[in-house]
Amino acid sequence: MIKITFPDQSVKEYEKGVTPFQIAESISPRLAQDVLAANVNDQAWDLNRSIESDASIKLFKWDYPEGKHAFWHTSAHLMAEAIQQLFPHVKFGIGPAIENGFYYDVDGGDAPIKESDLSLIEAKMLELAAKKETVVRREISKADALKMFGGRGEEYKVELISELEDGTITTYTQGEFTDLCRGPHLPNTAPIKAVKLTSLAGAYWRGDEKRHQLTRIYGITFPKKKMLDEYLALMEEAKKRDHRKLGKELELFMFSPSVGAGLPLWLPRGAMLRDRLENFLRRIQKRFGYLQVITPHIGNKLLYVTSGHYAKYGKDSFQPIHTPEEGEEFLLKPMNCPHHCEIYKGFPRSYKDLPLRFAEFGTVYRYEQSGELHGLTRVRGFTQDDAHIFCRPDQLKEEFLKVMDIIFIIFKALDFQNFEAQISLRDPNNREKYIGSDENWEKAERAIVEACEEKGLKARVELGEAAFYGPKLDFMVKDAIGRRWQLGTIQVDYNLPERFELEYTGSDNQKHRPVMIHRAPFGSMERFVAVLIEHTGGKFPLWLTPDQVVIMPISEKFNDYAQQVA
C-alpha cells in the first residue's frame, strides 16, 4: 500500500500502482467523469499513469488551467492525427497548448495547408474524437526514437530528439498517430466535443528567421458545443474592440514602414490620452515620495554586462552602436534599472537616506522578431512607467505594501476591478538556479506573503516561478470581456545591488547592501493603452478621453453664440 496526500492534507491509502483516475473514482463517480489532469508531487501527470510510491496529488477539472492545458495539448495531437490522415505528405514541428487553445507548426512542402482546408481538418478531428481513441504514453530510448521518427522522414522531430538525454524521452500514441511529447494528455479523445481552427500564420522553425518557415495552425476545443459558441461570440466582440482598429478610427496612434516596424507614432489625440495617464501616475507617485529621474536612451555595453542583462537579453537587443573610439560600444537601452543603480551609486548613502524611490517614464528598445509584433502590445520601442526603490531590509515589507496601494489606486480609477494575484517563489528543491543567500530569500518571500495577508489579498502561490534574483508579485487583470492581461508587477531584487556593489552606511557605521524593488503598475504605456482601449471599447472615462467637451450649435446662425460659450 502507498499513502496519497490530498491538497487539504488528508491522507488515504491505495494499492501501489494506482492511477490518478482510479483515485478520482474512489472519491466520486462525478469527479472521475470531470477530471482532466493531475499533478503528482508537483509534476504534471497523466490520469492513467500509475503511482508507485507515497505521493501528494492534485486533480484538475476544466475550470483549472492545468485541466485546460491537458485538454488542449491532446487536441493539438488530435489535429496532427487528422492532418496526417488527410495530408500524408505533411511533416510536423511542435504542437503545444497555449493560454487559449493550441497550435501545431507543420511543413506542407510544395502543398502547404490552406485556409480552405481548415473545415476539412475540423470534421476529421470530430470524427476521430468520437472514436474515443485511447492515448498511450511510452518511455522510449533515444536510438529507438531516432529510428522511429527518422524512418518517417520527420526531420524536425529528429532534430529535437538529438538534443534530448537518453532515458528522458516519451511518446504518446492515439490511433495511428505517434508524437514525441512530454505530456500530460487526456486518457482518451472522447471529451473533445467541439472544435474550431481559428487561423493560420507563418512561423520560423524554432523562432529563427534563418530557418525554414512552417505553417502554424491555431485552434481551440471545448467539452461542450455551447462553450465554443460562447467563445466565438466573445471573439467577435474582441474584434470590435481590437486596439489596432480603434486606434486608427480614434486617431490615437499609427505605424509607418518608413519609421520601422514595431515603432509606434503617437498622434495628437493619443498623446493627450497618454499624457493624462502619465500625469495621473506622477501625482500618485509624488504623494508616495517618489523622485523623478531621466536617463539616456543609450548606455555603454559594459553597463548591461555588469547588470547581467546582456548575457540574458543580448540576443534580443538591437546590435551594438560602434563609436569612432576603438572598442567602444553602446546599446539602445533595453531596461532602465542599471541606469537607476548608477544614480544611486553616484553619491554616498546613509541609512537615514533610505528608502530612495527613483521613478522614470523611460523608453527602452528590444529587437522583437517581425512575426511577433502586434499593435501596441508587442513593439520594439516602449516606455515603461518604471521605478526602483532602494531600501533597508527592515523597510522592505512596508515599501512593498505601498507599491500595492499604488496598483490598487490605478486599478480602481480605471475600473479594473476583476483581477488575480500570483506570488512567485523559488523552487525549494532546486535552489542552485537562484542567487543570494537563503536568509535574504526567506526575508523577501516572507515580506511578500505577509504583505498580501495584511491587504487581505488572496494570491495564488507558484513555486519555481520566481525570477533568478528574487520573488515577485504579479497582477493579472480581467478586462470587460473576460480576457486576462498581466499588468502590474512588483519584484524584489538582491542581485543588482550585489552586481553594482551598492552600499549605504548603517546606524552601526558599517557598510550594508540595500534591497531593490522593481515596480511598473502600467507595465508599459504602449501595452497599457492597448489594454485600456480594448477594455473600454474606445469609450474612455471622461477624465482620460481626448474630447472631453463638445459644443454643438443646432444651426449655423448660432455659431457666434457657440463661440461665446466655448
Task: Kindly name the residue from 68, 196, 339, 388 that is annotated as catalytic.
Answer: 388
- CB-count exposure of residue 72 (10 Å: 0-12, 13-18, 19+): buried
54 belongs to the catalytic site: no
Domain assignment of residue 40, yes or no: yes
225 belongs to the catalytic site: no
| Phi and psi angles of residue 313, each rounded to the nearest 5 degrees, phi first | -115, 5
386 belongs to the catalytic site: yes
Residues 6+ apart with CB under 8 A from 77: 95, 135, 172, 174, 177, 179, 181, 185
* Cα separation, 400 vs 389, whole angstroms: 9
Domain span at residue 26?
2-61
Contact 424, 465 (CB under 8 A): yes
276 belongs to the catalytic site: no
Residue ranges, the chain, pLDDT below 50: none
138 belongs to the catalytic site: no
What residue has cell string 491505495? 14
| Residue 479 pLDDT | 82
Q: Looking at 204, 226, 241, which one is the last position of a domain?
A: 241
Q: Give the sign of the dihedral formed by CA 373, CA 376, CA 381, CA 383.
A: negative
Same domain, 128 and 210: yes
384 belongs to the catalytic site: yes
| Residue 503 pLDDT | 97
Domain assignment of residue 33, yes or no: yes
Contact 240, 233 (CB under 8 A): no
Domain assignment of residue 444, yes or no: yes
| Residue 557 pLDDT | 96
| Residue 477 pLDDT | 87
Domain assignment of residue 154, yes or no: yes
Same domain, 519 and 434: yes
Task: Kindly name the residue from 174, 384, 395, 491 that is annotated as catalytic.
Answer: 384
Same domain, 375 and 461: yes
Contact 447, 400 (CB under 8 A): yes
Same domain, 152 and 232: yes
**All cell numbers assigned to 65:** 488551467
Q: Which amino acid is at 67?
A: G
366 belongs to the catalytic site: yes
Same domain, 71 and 56: no
Domain assignment of residue 447, yes or no: yes
Task: Kindly name the residue from 386, 474, 479, 493 that is annotated as catalytic.
Answer: 386
Domain assignment of residue 302, yes or no: no
Same domain, 98 and 19: no
| Residue 464 pLDDT | 83
Same domain, 21 and 161: no
Same domain, 362 and 505: yes
* Cα separation, 220 vs 185, whole angstroms: 15
How much is the pTM? 0.78
| Residue 308 pLDDT | 83
Task: Kindly name the residue from 69, 366, 402, 519 that is annotated as catalytic.
Answer: 366
Q: Looking at 206, 226, 241, which one is the last position of a domain?
A: 241
* Cα separation, 95 vs 75, whole angstroms: 9
Same domain, 170 and 232: yes
Same domain, 487 and 375: yes
| Residue 484 pLDDT | 82
Same domain, 357 and 221: no
What residue has cell string 551598492? 502
- CB-count exposure of residue 134 (10 Å: 0-12, 13-18, 19+): middle
Torsion angle (degrees, nearest 10) of CA 427, 432, 438, 441 = -50
Tens of pLDDT along 537-552? 999 999 999 888 899 9
Same domain, 470 and 514: yes
Domain assignment of residue 280, yes or no: no
Q: Which amino acid is at 499?
A: R
Nearest to 339 by CA among 387, 394, 295: 295
Task: Tell me the CA distances in angstroms from 86 to 94, 107, 113, 174, 219, one per residue in order.
Answer: 19, 14, 10, 16, 17
Task: Kindly name the residue from 337, 341, 391, 452 that is annotated as catalytic.
Answer: 337
Written in H, E and C, the secondary structure of 416-451 is: CCCEEEEEEECCCCCHHHCCCCHHHHHHHHHHHHHH
Task: Kindly name the residue from 472, 512, 519, 535 that is annotated as catalytic.
Answer: 472
| Residue 128 pLDDT | 96
- Taking each continuous run of H as one helix and of E as one strand, the counts in the chain are 17, 28
What is the number of structural domains in the chain?
Answer: 3
Q: What is the CATH number of the domain that holds 8?
A: 3.10.20.30
| Residue 487 pLDDT | 84
Work out the angle at residue 430's Cα, subtended by the Cα atoms of residues 426 and 431, and round it to the nearest 5 degrees. 65
Contact 47, 20 (CB under 8 A): yes
| Residue 210 pLDDT | 85
Q: What is the CATH number of the domain that holds 511?
A: 3.30.930.10
Can you say whether residue 488 is alpha, beta or left, with left for phi > 0 and alpha for psi between -120 and 50 degrees? beta
Task: Kindly name the residue from 241, 333, 518, 535 that is annotated as catalytic.
Answer: 518
Length reported for the chain: 566
Domain assignment of residue 283, yes or no: no
| Residue 481 pLDDT | 80
| Residue 532 pLDDT | 94
